[in-house]
Structure 1
Amino acid sequence: MKYAIIGAGGTGGILGFYMTKADRDVTLIARGRHLAAMQEKGLAVEKMWDGTTEIIPVKAMDMEHYVEQPDVVLVCVKGYSLEDTIPFIQRVAKPSTIVIPVLNIYGTGAKMQEQLPKLLVTDGCIYVSANIKEPGVLIQHGRILRVVYGVRNMSSQKVNIKRAHEEMLNALKDIKKDFDDSGIDGVLSENIQRDALEKFSYVSPIGAAGLYYHVTAADFQREGKQREAFKTMIREVAALAEAMGVPFERDMVEVNLKILSSLAPEATTSMQRDVMEGKDSEIDGLVYEVVRMGERYHVPVPMYAKVAEKLRENL
């Protein structure tokens, strides 16, 4: 299968690196100095857990010069850049192309599906902690690397989907195999709404609390007010999931603390780094949207409201 990965940072770049290493047909869509460095020197990944660095040649180009027709498009940009990907996908996609958004913000797939009605747009999320260190160089903070993706309402529509789109289902399974063969834990979900909310229950609280307290993973890895705030916001997302009809089936506080424990102590979130560097950030989709969801579903989210109020005042 031919893959186009839009975005070559801590999400897309990491996926492209491991899939290229596994001899999959992958093109990274990037721009600027990062693109130039990859084209000239290849893509380097520094692994913080063992101090090693590996550099491999990768296929990389900008949107303008990409002329292939991919079987799969992995959308790995920040939420505020999502609109820029739609015209590109419309241009390069064939009728059977599958689009998998791998973003932090919940509900992205459904929004993209409205703009790409002739294509299958799944929902998706990723568990990874990585970022661009410098052009052509990514730093990966922990070993966890998992992509979860699936068709919305697949559990209730499974029989009909299988009869009408057997080839599409086979393609989704082939994508999982490509992930797995690349050392990426690929999960083809039958309840992607719940699974995406589970991921959101980590990335949103850790980003919100990290920005609120201006701290690193180390501060959440030990007992204290930062860790308690993180746990409280996880429970508030869990209450939202319950109200939305997709209750979590496991203790997400316990699950997310385990994920947190695997990170390097100095790790921060991409939202923290973007805000501190004065860049656009995903604060609306990761923090303010939770407050709006609380109002929509009549679920109290007092910790999120407190964090949102302070961030609105200070940013």
Structure 2
Amino acid sequence: MKIAVAGIGGIGGILGGALAKSGADAYFYVRGENLKAIRNGGLKVDSITLGSFIARPKAASDNAEELGAMDAVFVCCKGYALEAMCRGIAPMIESDTIVVPLLNGVEISGFMRPILPSCILADGIIWVFSHIEEPGHVVQNYGKCKIIFGMSDGSRPEKLGELASALDGAGIDTQISDDIALDSWKKYLSMCGNSVVLCYYGGNVGEVRGHEGYKKVLRSVAEEIVTVARAKGSEMPVEYVDKFVEGFSKLAPETINSLYRDLTSGKPADKTELRHIIGRMVEFGRQTGVPTPYHEAVYKRFAK
């Protein structure tokens, strides 16, 4: 199975590195200094899950035509780069190619479908804490590495099972979902909810917990997401509001997340995932008629 990983950052680096190490027919769609480093010395991977090794793909290129048609393509980029990525990888995609986005957010395939050539377009989510240490070097210091993917209509194309087997063989815990929309909303609740709360209060988890009444805000933020998800047809259990509040109470006091870090470090809003994560909830709220006041307040504050 010919598999391309498009975007060799923290997520794509771990995924592509694991596939290349396993002997899979793996290709990297990668640019800039990262591409130079990988061509010169391979991709160095230091992972608490997979070990330390040098991964060498079958080929690495910033030219999709050079890499050729693929059986499967994993899309691993930031949300603000997704449209450009979809256009860039188009030459690798045929009608029977499986495309799996592994991005922060929800209902990613709906955004991608009008841009990509006809293909088998899935949705996916990944749990991994990893980053690019320097060009050609990806690090995962803690946590697990797990992928869930599936088709929005619940179908199971044969190639989906082949792809899951390739990932399992590469040491990545993989699951095919019969309800990937619901699974995506569950992860989105934690990721987007935490982003909104941290941005709303302007501090890390410990600083948020120092505010009187913060649990009421946590609950309201989670209720906005759960209500929108249900309005869009995903029957997210209402008890996930309680789980979100409970989970926040267990986070280390110094915890922040990548969106909050980017927004408070001086990055322009359009070079962060603000629109892709929080902005999408604002859009969904307006589409469904569900009020999302906390999401709207944070979005308006930072989208300047």
Which category of TM-score, normalised to the shorter sequence, fits these structures? 0.7 to 0.9
Matches within 5 A, 1:136-215: 136-154=136-154, 158=155, 169-215=157-203
Name the amino acid aligned to 1:281: T
> 2:48 aligned with 1:63, yes or no?
no
User: Distance in 1 between the 2:24 and 2:246 partners?
Assistant: 31
State the match for 1:236 in structure 2: 224
Deviation track 1:192-217 (CA, whole Å, cap 9, x = no partner) reads 2212211211221223334444545x
> 2:300 aligned with 1:302, yes or no?
no
Shift of the alpha carbon at 1:4? 0.5
Secondary structure of the 1:128 match is strand
Matches within 5 A, 1:94-113: 94-113=94-113
**1:129 touches 1:141 (CA, 8 Å); kept in 2?**
yes
Which of 137-146 and 235-244 deviates more? Answer: 137-146
Which of 109-118 and 99-108 deviates more? Answer: 109-118
Shift of the alpha carbon at 1:7? 0.5
Query: How many residues in Structure 1 have an aligned counterpart in Structure 2?
Result: 297
Name the amino acid aligned to 1:244: K
User: Distance in 1 between the 2:53 and 2:266 partners?
Assistant: 27
The alignment-based identity, stated in percent, is: 28
Name the amino acid aligned to 1:189: S
User: Distance in 2 between the 1:28 and 1:136 partners?
Assistant: 12
Which ranges of structure 2 fall in alignment gaps of 5 or more residues? none
**2:87 touches 2:116 (CA, 8 Å); kept in 1?**
no
1:257/1:97 CA distance change after superposition, 3 Å: farther
Shift of the alpha carbon at 1:250? 7.2
Shift of the alpha carbon at 1:259? 7.4
> 2:41 aligned with 1:41, yes or no?
yes
Shift of the alpha carbon at 1:9? 0.9
Deviation track 1:119-147 (CA, whole Å, cap 9, x = no partner) reads 11112222222222322222325322222
Decide which of 215, 225, 236 is 1:248's aligned counterpart: 236
Name the amino acid aligned to 1:282: E
Name the amino acid aligned to 2:267: G
Deviation track 1:90-149 (CA, whole Å, cap 9, x = no partner) reads 312233211111111322212222233521111222222222232222232532222222
Shift of the alpha carbon at 1:262? 9.3
Shift of the alpha carbon at 1:238? 1.0
Let me know the Cα RMSD of the aligned residues: 3.2
Shift of the alpha carbon at 1:75? 0.7
Shift of the alpha carbon at 1:277? 5.3
Secondary structure of the 2:67 match is coil
**1:131 touches 1:270 (CA, 8 Å); kept in 2?**
no
User: Distance in 1 between the 2:89 and 2:55 partners?
Assistant: 25
State the match for 2:25 in structure 1: 25
Name the amino acid aligned to 1:285: H
Shift of the alpha carbon at 1:272? 3.3
Which of 204-213 and 116-125 deviates more? Answer: 204-213
**2:182 touches 2:236 (CA, 8 Å); kept in 1?**
yes
User: Distance in 2 between the 1:184 and 1:257 partners?
Assistant: 29
1:292/1:31 CA distance change after superposition, 3 Å: same
Shift of the alpha carbon at 1:63? 2.5
User: Distance in 1 between the 2:17 and 2:252 partners?
Assistant: 21
Name the amino acid aligned to 2:206: D
1:6/1:117 CA distance change after superposition, 3 Å: closer
Matches within 5 A, 1:262-277: 268-275=256-263, 276=265
Deviation track 1:272-302 (CA, whole Å, cap 9, x = no partner) reads 3443252501101211221232222222223
Deviation track 1:233-277 (CA, whole Å, cap 9, x = no partner) reads 233211111222212147435655787799887664332344325
1:183/1:67 CA distance change after superposition, 3 Å: closer
> 2:65 aligned with 1:76, yes or no?
no
